[in-house]
Structure 1
Amino acid sequence: MYLLGHFQTLQMDKKVVLITGGSSGIGKSIGTYLTSKDFTVYGTTRNLDKYPNFDAFQLIALDVKLPESVEAAVTKVIAAEGRLDILINNAGVGITGPIEETPHEEILNVFDTNFHGPIHMMKAVLPQMRKQGGGVIINITSIAGYMGLPFRGYYSATKGALSLVTEALRMETKNFGIRISNLAPGDFATNIAAGRYHAPVTKGSAYEEVYQKSLDLMNEHVDAGGDPMQVAHKVHAIIEKRNPNIHYPVGEFMQRLSLLLKRILPGKLYEKLLTNHYKL
């Protein structure tokens, strides 16, 4: 059995953090905040050339969809620092559209990024974390991953799948001193809407009117979202816990309340609440 003793000794030094999708939004907020707390932070981006003046923390190239890119980035951090204490799986993409009309290549892309990508990352860091006697992995999922949201079904599916894998991996690695949690944000003011894939609103489609209304509502929620620094504070709190929980939602009260209602309400009643909210 692996002991936490060695890892706790390392905690006295500056802990090394790797954050995927660290160039903007929630990832940048997490990296900036942890840097202010004296962590050594590496963020990742698919295209370093787009950020020539980035100076919030160290930024390295990584595409979570490519295992060889993942291995190269993790190897680079370990070579530079001698260890890797914390992985934050934050990189992700959004997708909207009717289940029936979303192109299949876009479905595969969102799963490659939001689900397979974090798995590539965890496979790459786990051997090092076992070697050093412990570590922390935080998977950034979504409150949307707890429910099948209309016109966001594929996004919900990727985040829900990652959440379940996290539950399993916690049990598989519990003897190695590795602490793994899900952090599920609600709507925050980031640029995710700009990078989200939107299946086109097709004129004459059976979904044309209702999908457009839902799309407008989703974009309003993101624009009016909270400060992503709230997520950063929660990440730091999880890192500091000796025995963190499995799931941590973070967001507005009504978004967190929706998770409780999902657990206690009959399925049809909860579905009715969602359809009323999305004006379906």
Structure 2
Amino acid sequence: MNEQPVLLITGASSGIGKACFDYLFSKGYKVYGTSRKPGDQNPYLLKMDVNNKKSIDAAIRHLINKEGRIDVLINNAGISVVGAAELTSEENARLQMETNFWGAVQVTHAVLPHMRKKQTGKIINVSSLAGLFAIPFQGFYTASKHALEGYSEALRMELKAMNIHVSLIEPGDFKTEISQNRILSNEREDKDYKKGLAAAMEIIVKGERKGDKAIKVAKLCQKIIQSKRPKLRYRIGKPLDLSAAVLKKILPQRLFEWLIMGHYQLNKAKKI
């Protein structure tokens, strides 16, 4: 590619998205990020709500008018809804799926016509290890990442002949603002879930606070961008996180489930 690549990163105002935006910008890429509330201080941070098609179309149109192309799309925008699946409101469950899955789909579909016109491009979807196995009390987050995995796998095959590459990044726990910004969805306290949720939340928050630095994901994005033939899946995180993905493949489901429940201290959780 003779011209400087044009990158678009959704959810670039904090966390992994911001780390990718700052790092790739420092490496000389022409990087644009998106945020629902970007402010006026950075012309490279565009206003976009991934749950609003008009907002998406306006941001993509602005970027194409300015740069003429989008070479790399990094779908990073996402939220976390935590709570017992049964007690999660339909509103919060739909918001989880709309943001993490349909948001990525809508942005991708807005960008793809421009990539197909050039017959080249890269799409990097930020998934999670939760896209490979379920996490208790994050059922709808897990579902959104499982959906993103399946969509990306199919899309990769459909676009290969057009020289458009699709990859997934599957992070474990990383130190971001997700702990402060998550939605706790148990509107009704229930004795059957209360102790289990409290135990799981303690482990979830502890894992995030001790997680890896988001710059590692940014460096992985650069590696994918520079690769002529990027892989479908890239897992990243601490050894304990990554081992779970390996064990999921080789252990009987009952044993793997027991290990996951033990990690989140659910084997000892009784209703109170």
**What range is the shorter-chain TM-score in?**
over 0.9
Counterparts of 2:108 and 2:188, CA distance in 1: 39
Counterparts of 1:209 and 1:200, CA distance in 2: 13
Alignment of 1:22-171 (within 5 A): 22-49=12-39, 52-53=40-41, 55=42, 58-171=44-157
Give SS of 1:151's match: coil
Counterparts of 2:190 and 2:140, CA distance in 1: 23
Cα distance change on mapping 1:65 and 1:204 into 2, 3 Å: closer
In structure 2, stretches of 5+ residues that fail to align are 267-272
Note if contact 2:11-2:33 (Cα within 8 Å) is conserved in structure 1. Answer: yes
Give SS of 1:88's match: strand
Note if contact 1:201-1:212 (Cα within 8 Å) is conserved in structure 2. Answer: no
Q: Which residue does 1:196 correspond to in 2?
A: 182
Alignment of 1:114-263 (within 5 A): 114-200=100-186, 202-263=188-249
Q: Show CA shifts across 1:173-196 (max 9, x none).
A: 111110110001111110011111
Q: Show CA shifts across 1:2-35 (max 9, x none).
A: xxxxxxxxx2221000000001110011011111
Note if contact 1:136-1:179 (Cα within 8 Å) is conserved in structure 2. Answer: yes
Deviation at 1:200, TM superposition (A): 3.3
Deviation at 1:67, TM superposition (A): 1.1
* Identical-residue share of aligned pairs (%): 39
Counterparts of 1:164 and 1:204, CA distance in 2: 33
Counterparts of 1:185 and 1:201, CA distance in 2: 29
Q: Which residue does 1:14 correspond to in 2?
A: 4
Note if contact 1:201-1:208 (Cα within 8 Å) is conserved in structure 2. Answer: no
Deviates more, 1:170-179 or 1:199-208: 199-208
Deviation at 1:37, TM superposition (A): 1.4
Note if contact 1:201-1:211 (Cα within 8 Å) is conserved in structure 2. Answer: no
Counterparts of 1:46 and 1:265, CA distance in 2: 42
Give SS of 1:235's match: helix
Deviation at 1:203, TM superposition (A): 4.4
Q: Number of aligned pairs?
A: 266
AA at the equivalent of 1:177? N
Deviation at 1:145, TM superposition (A): 1.3
Deviation at 1:201, TM superposition (A): 7.5
AA at the equivalent of 2:227? K
TM-score (norm: length of structure 2): 0.95
Q: Show CA shifts across 1:223-256 (max 9, x none).
A: 1111000000001101111111111111001111
In structure 1, stretches of 5+ residues that fail to align are 1-10
AA at the equivalent of 1:209? K
Q: Which residue does 2:269 correspond to in 1?
A: none
Q: Which residue does 1:8 correspond to in 2?
A: none
Q: Which residue does 1:5 correspond to in 2?
A: none
Counterparts of 2:263 and 2:23, CA distance in 1: 34
